[in-house]
Structure formats: C-alpha cells, structure tokens
Amino acid sequence: MNVRDSEVICGLLKNSGYKICGDEKQADVIILNTCSVRQHAEDRVWSQIGSFKKAGNKRLIIGVVGCMAKNYAEKIFERAPDVDFVVGPQDIHKIPEILSKISKDNLFERKVWEVDGSIRPNEIYHNSFYQEKEHAYLVISEGCSNFCSYCVVPFVRGRLRHRELKNIVKEAEDAVAGGLTRITLLGQNVNAYKDGDVNFTKLLQRLDKIAGLKQLTFFTSHPKDTHPDFFKAIRDSEKLLKSLHLPLQSGSDRILKAMNRGYSAKEYLALIDSYRKIVKGALLTSDIIVGFPGESEDDFKQTYDLVKKAEFNAAYIFKYSPRPHTEALKMADDVEKADKEKRHAKLLELQRGISNKKNAK
C-alpha cells in the first residue's frame, strides 16, 4: 500500500513540475512515506530523519507523510525539529500545494496538514506513475474496519472505503494501454470489496476481460470473508495467479479470539483445505504473530502445529508489537522478550524448512 502511495505522490509532484532525483544529497525536497504497523518500522524512520540534517542545505524541505504523520502529528516536530511538514495518508493529494506554499513563503509556519481521514480524490490515482515497467499496483479500497485487536491500521488509515468499480476499471485499462501487463490489486481486506451489487469476485471477473492484461493478483484476504465460491472464481479465471495470501495470525483459538479475528483454527484449516482442493497448483502464503499478550507455551505450540499442517509456501512471521489506540494495548505485553525471540526463531526455522521443500518441488 505504501509503495503505491509513494508512486501516487511522485506522480502528483511530477505533474506539478518536480523531478524525481536519484540521490538524496542532491534533493531539494525529501519526503518520508511512513508505516506504523510495528514499532520497528517507526524506529527506522526516526533514525533516518536524523540523517537528513539541514546543515549542508538550509533550503532542504523535509516532509513526513503516511501513517506516522497521523499517529504522531505535532509530536514529530518536537522529536525531529528539521521536519517542515506533516501530512496524513488521506491528505497526500495536498502535497504539491504545500510544497509551493513552503517554497514561496519564507514566513511559512511548520504545520500538520492532516485532517480527519476524509476520502482521497479519485483523480490522484490516475497519474500514470508506476515504478515498474510491466507491473502496476492498483488500490481498490482504503482503510479497514476489522479492528483486529493488535492492529493500528483502522486508526491511521481510517475505516474501510471502497473505490468505485468504474474508476478501478478505468485505471486498469489505462495502465494496460500504457504497456503494463500485470496488475496487483491492493486493499487491507480485498475480499470485503463492494460497489452496489459488485463484490470482489465480480470485480475480478470484470478485470479478467481487459484485453492485453496478462496477469492479475491481489493482497490481502481475510479468512472471515474468503469462501469456496471465491476459490472457484480463482480457478476459473484466465489471468489470476493461483495464489492466495491468507493471514493466519495464530493457531490458538483463545488467542484468535483475543485478536478479534472471527475464525477458529479448525475453520482456517478447513478453508485452506477447500482452497487447495478447488484450485490446482494453488500457492498459499500467510502472516503470523508470535508473543501476543497472554500467549502461553501451549498457545504457541498450537500455532507451531498448525503451521506444520498448513504447509504454507511462505509466511511472514512477526513479533507482537504494542500499538497505540488498539485494544491489545490495554492488555499486558507479558510475553518476555526472550520468549518472543525464541518462538519467532523456532517458527521461522520450521517455515524455512517447509518453504524449501515446497519450492524444490
């Protein structure tokens, strides 16, 4: 999502006469597009801001945009005095105007240009700036209303909003007309997509018809909105990759409940079993969190056993990181750091073995 947002920002700036510069030492403007999903992502940004000191270039403009802007707002100026402007993820379309104000007006006051998570204007997506030559990311929905108890996304990106079908189709058609042949649809939970009576399956079927488009895929699916009918649509599609990213998060029902995920370990297993039966050669990847508040050795063992059974082609494994605004923040972060590390290493090792075995095939 942030890769696409950065492209959108680059496209807007290019259309306003800016040039994208390969070397940060020569840049007049540096914009950090930030992520708040885990503490580690934020720590990296804080240390990077520190390296863009103005000593060498007093006219250098530094902006912090994205989820950290929403999360910290004014506090960014306290911690990083060289920052000139702060813009939340819903207001990235204002960046060209902000930059022209800053560069014209020497009396410009440092300011947070972030409001209340209003809807992004659709036009910003139609600026035909893509980092890759053949592949485009395409946002179909913004925000999330699932409120998994560990997750900051609903608070920093706002509640779920769907883009209109006609705008998505136009963006895809324009990308293909411009020579792109592969598209990845993006949303925090693409399977919840809706525009009138068009659901995600219908959206895929519509995009499948675009002449010249060779490959289509999507991120991310939530198990509670993923059904066998949808797997049939993957099977029957000409252009869809036979691949699904379906975050598990935990193999313990107790922890899944505390995470507010809306499914049990048994239901998850039944779902992936159905997926593999319906879609031939199906690839499956996942996300898992270890060390969620209250996770016992036994809960972890259930995750370990489920990962063994599930045989994911690949999985991202994260150590739980307490996040502001979330329900889980109210629970004690009581799994010792050393235990989190141990569980993380153990699961990584297990998954590495499974991935190697599967990939060798």
> Taking contact as CB under 6 A, which single stretch among the options 86-94, 105-113, 118-126, 318-326 is the one that binds ligand 5AD?
318-326
Which residues from 67-126 bind ligand SF4, rule CB under 6 A? Answer: none
Site string for ligand 5AD, 199-238 (x = CB under 6 A): ----------------------------------------
250 binds ligand SF4 per the rule CB under 6 A? no
State which of residues 64, 80, 151, 282 lies at the interface with ligand SF4 (CB under 6 A).
151
SS3 199: strand
Residue 65 neighbours by CB under 8 Å, 6+ apart:
5, 9, 31, 32, 33, 34, 86, 87, 88, 89, 92, 95
- Is residue 157 close enough to count as binding ligand 5AD by CB under 6 A? no
Question: Half-sphere exposure of residue 260, counting CA atoms within 13 Å on the CB side?
Answer: 10
DSSP for 73-89, please give it. Answer: TTHHHHH-TT--EEE-G
Is there binding between residue 146 and ligand SF4 (CB under 6 A)? yes
**Stretch 180-209: interaction string toward ligand SF4, x if CB under 6 A:** --------xx--------------------
158 binds ligand SF4 (CB under 6 A): no
| The entry of ligand SF4, ligand 5AD, none that residue 343 binds, CB within 5 to 8 Å by partner kind | none
Q: How far is the CB of 28 from ligand SF4 (least distance, A)?
A: 35
Residue from 6, 90, 191, 249 that binds ligand 5AD (CB under 6 A)? Answer: 249
Please choose, from the candidates 320, 192, 182, 191, the residue with its C-alpha nearest in 3D space to the C-alpha of residue 240: 182
Contact call for residues 98 and 113 (beta carbons, < 8 A): yes
293 binds ligand 5AD, rule: CB under 6 A: no
In this structure, what is the dihedral angle of CA atoms 315, 321, 325, 329, given to the nearest 10 degrees?
120
Residue among 33 and 149 whose Cβ is closer to ligand SF4: 149
The alpha carbon torsion through 265, 266, 271, 276 (nearest 10 deg) reads: 100
- ω into 220 cis (within 30 of 0): yes
Which positions from 19 through 48 interact with ligand 5AD, judged by CB under 6 A? 37-38
From 287, 311, 333, 339, residue interacting with ligand 5AD (rule: CB under 6 A): 287
Q: Which residue has the tokens 């659709």?
A: 122
Of residues 61, 112, 138, 153, which one binds ligand SF4 by CB under 6 A?
153
When asked if residue 312 is in the footprint of ligand 5AD (CB under 6 A), the reply is no
Least distance CB 285 / ligand SF4 (angstroms): 15
Q: Are 198 and 192 in contact (CB under 8 A)?
A: no
SS3 347: helix
- The number of CA neighbours under 13 Å toward the Cβ of 289 is 23
**Window 218 to 237, contacts with ligand SF4 (CB under 6 A):** 222
- What are the φ and ψ backbone dihedral angles of 128, each rounded to 5 degrees? 45, 35
User: Interface with ligand SF4 includes 144 (CB under 6 A)?
Assistant: yes
Q: Is 250 exposed, middle or buried (CB count within 10 Å of its CB: 0-12, 13-18, 19+)?
A: buried
Window contacting ligand SF4 (CB under 6 A); options: 39-47, 83-91, 143-151, 271-279: 143-151
Among 187, 321, 343, 351, the residue binding ligand 5AD under the rule CB under 6 A is 321
Residue 348: how many other CB atoms lie within 10 Å: 15
- Distances 343 to 299, 309, 311 between C-alpha atoms, Å: 11, 17, 18
88-147 positions binding ligand 5AD, by CB under 6 A: none
Q: Give the one entry of ligand 5AD, ligand SF4, none that residue 268 binds, where binding means its C-beta sits below a cut-off of 5 to 8 angstroms depending on kind.
A: none
Residue nearest to ligand 5AD (CB): 287
Q: Which amino acid is at 110?
A: R
Which residues contribute to the site for ligand SF4 (CB under 6 A)? 144, 146-148, 151, 153-154, 188-189, 222
Which residues contribute to the site for ligand 5AD (CB under 6 A)? 37-38, 150-151, 247, 249, 287, 289, 318, 320-321, 323
